[in-house]
Structure 1
Amino acid sequence: MVDSWRLKVQHKTGFDYAGPVSSSYNEARMWPRNGSRQAVLDARVEVWPPARTYRYEDYWGTVVTAFDVHAQHESLTVTATSTVETLPPGDLLSASDGLPWSDLSSPALVDRWYEFLLPTQRTGLDDPLRSIVSDLRDKSDTPHVAALAVCEFVRSEVTYQPGATGVQSDALHAWEQRKGVCQDISHLTVGMLREMGLPARYVSGYLHPSPAAEIGESVVGQSHAWVEWWVGRWTAFDPTNGVAVGERHVVVGRGREYGDVPPLKGVYAGPASTGQGVEVTITRLR
């Protein structure tokens, strides 16, 4: 019997402004996705000041909660609360599984996953990194083995250090200083996978920090990022922690990079923002 987890996630974020803002137009990507290994049992997004919200799925399949605030305000707060059933890693590929290298370059595959093969602003590489990628590919019998080698390489070379970078950082910045956060590590991994010719996508969500989580105990969780690559099917892996994605992970969105799945973004009329706060609380319910 597979032991699923039931997680309650509360994600609170927002902006403070230097003075009154007359209006703002916003999008929140904080609503978890239903999938083969994750079921959303309950979800809601609340806004302060109060505003009418509406939901839709964007181009990448992420649920977006959109809202406008036209009452004068000096801060904006968005609180997303969800209950999600998650499963442990399943159907993991062995080293010999997945497509061979020859199939990755087929025109049909390239056309199907074209958008996940191109570098983006945050995932582009330089020549020294491309040389490393070429070497890792040459040493790997299959694309899946090469993908795992990339994850191990990035984890061994780039130290996870909260606060080392900001949301505008890219893969090269993290590589040059050999430190970053999960977002940077995922961008670098995705960029290297694409350079090998593997379709790869960036995944945003949440992570319960404890593999031995106590039931009923609320802990400080994390907004988190990891990667997926395609070798006949999508395979999810968390390069920051060096583990397959499982019951501790909650998927919110997928895209080419962070810019496709930011938790909260918008435009407004008024003085400059003085900062953004983020609080994530996760409780294992069973």
Structure 2
Amino acid sequence: MSWQIRIEHSTGYRYAAPVISSYNETRIIPQTAAGQLTLEATVRTEPTAATYRYWDYWGTQVTAFDLHTPHTELVVTGRSVVRTAPARPGPSDGPNWQALADGSITDRFVEFIRPSRFTTDHPELAETARELAARHTPAEFVPAVGEWVRQRLTYRPGTTGVHTSAVDAWQQGEGVCQDFAHLALVLLRAVGLPARYVSGYLHPSTDATIGETVVGQSHAWVEGWLGDWWGFDPTNGVPAGQQHVVVARGRDYNDVPPLLGVYSGGASTSLGVTVAVTRMS
């Protein structure tokens, strides 16, 4: 059964001295793609700024804006209504390992097979990936990797940051959804399975009450290519489904930051991030 979800995402900064100019881009508008339809989406800034939109290289909708009046706070709020689809079971007849090694596949998906900034190679992780792959088909391998990651990482907010690599989180043994996704990507790519990072939102309840607004989460999971892209959430050990709202995709977090910019002014302090979600149907 599909869900209709309303999301309000607010993030901001306070500055020690007035900011004279700033140039910013935000990735907080959910995508319309297979399994998801964005019905409404707006982005508002305080102070008010004119915005324009474009799609980046990875297919994510970016809202860009700049400010040239002095300000000591910046708040960006995205509001959207999205229809999501139930989780799809993993394909039973996807490509085998030999097919994934074919040059037509490796060339087509080279950017999702090679290491990236936060998903660097590591010999021990590569060996683990090969051992898992030897016991599973590609379709079985994706959830098997998710289970392996959940056994090695403890979910603990505040122990890692946005610049923590998969290897660092693995050696530390704890992290958040971003780290679970990054570590899963290292293993998936180590055996040549194309895999990409997904960022978005998660409704925390599997049996959400219609009309009730609750605290949601900015979230990250992965998609593996099994003849088609298939989403799996290694943090929760489930396929991506109606609770998951896709905003951006890329090689890792570096391709999908929710708010990014440069400015001239005083040092900044985060005002925090809030996400409110409401299941509407």
Q: Distance in 2 between matches of 1:139 and 1:276?
A: 47
1:248 aligns with 2:243: yes
Contact preservation (8 Å) 1:32, 1:251: yes
Please list, as runs of the form range in 1=range in 2, the aligned pairs for 1:127-206 lying within 5 A after superposition. Answer: 127-140=123-136, 142-206=137-201
Q: Please, what TM-score do these two structures have when normalized by structure 2? A: 0.98
Contact preservation (8 Å) 1:125, 1:171: no
- Please report how far the alpha carbon of residue 41 of structure 1 lies from its aligned counterpart in structure 2 after TM superposition: 0.7
Q: Distance in 1 between matches of 2:173 and 2:49?
A: 42
Q: Please, what TM-score do these two structures have when normalized by structure 1? A: 0.96
- 1:66 is matched by which residue type in structure 2? A
Q: Which position in structure 1 is the counterpart of 2:206?
A: 211
Q: Distance in 2 between matches of 1:72 and 1:155?
A: 46
- 1:138 is matched by which residue type in structure 2? A
Indicate which of 237, 257, 266 corresponds to 2:261: 266
Please list, as runs of the form range in 1=range in 2, the aligned pairs for 1:53-64 lying within 5 A after superposition. Answer: 53-64=51-62
- Please report how far the alpha carbon of residue 232 of structure 1 lies from its aligned counterpart in structure 2 after TM superposition: 1.0
Indicate which of 26, 42, 61 corresponds to 1:44: 42
- Please report how far the alpha carbon of residue 125 of structure 1 lies from its aligned counterpart in structure 2 after TM superposition: 3.2
Gapped regions of structure 1 (runs ≥ 5): none
Aligned to 1:118, the other structure's residue is in SS state coil
1:283 aligns with 2:269: no
Aligned to 2:82, the other structure's residue is in SS state strand
Q: Which position in structure 1 is the counterpart of 2:90?
A: 93
Indicate which of 16, 19, 22 corresponds to 1:21: 19
1:227-259 superposed Cα distances (whole Å, 9 cap, x missing partner)? 001021111011100011111010001000001
How many pairs align?
281
1:231 aligns with 2:226: yes
- Please report how far the alpha carbon of residue 97 of structure 1 lies from its aligned counterpart in structure 2 after TM superposition: 2.3
Identity, in percent, stands at 53
- Please report how far the alpha carbon of residue 83 of structure 1 lies from its aligned counterpart in structure 2 after TM superposition: 0.4
- Please report how far the alpha carbon of residue 276 of structure 1 lies from its aligned counterpart in structure 2 after TM superposition: 4.4
- 1:93 is matched by which residue type in structure 2? G
Q: Distance in 1 between matches of 2:216 and 2:113?
A: 31
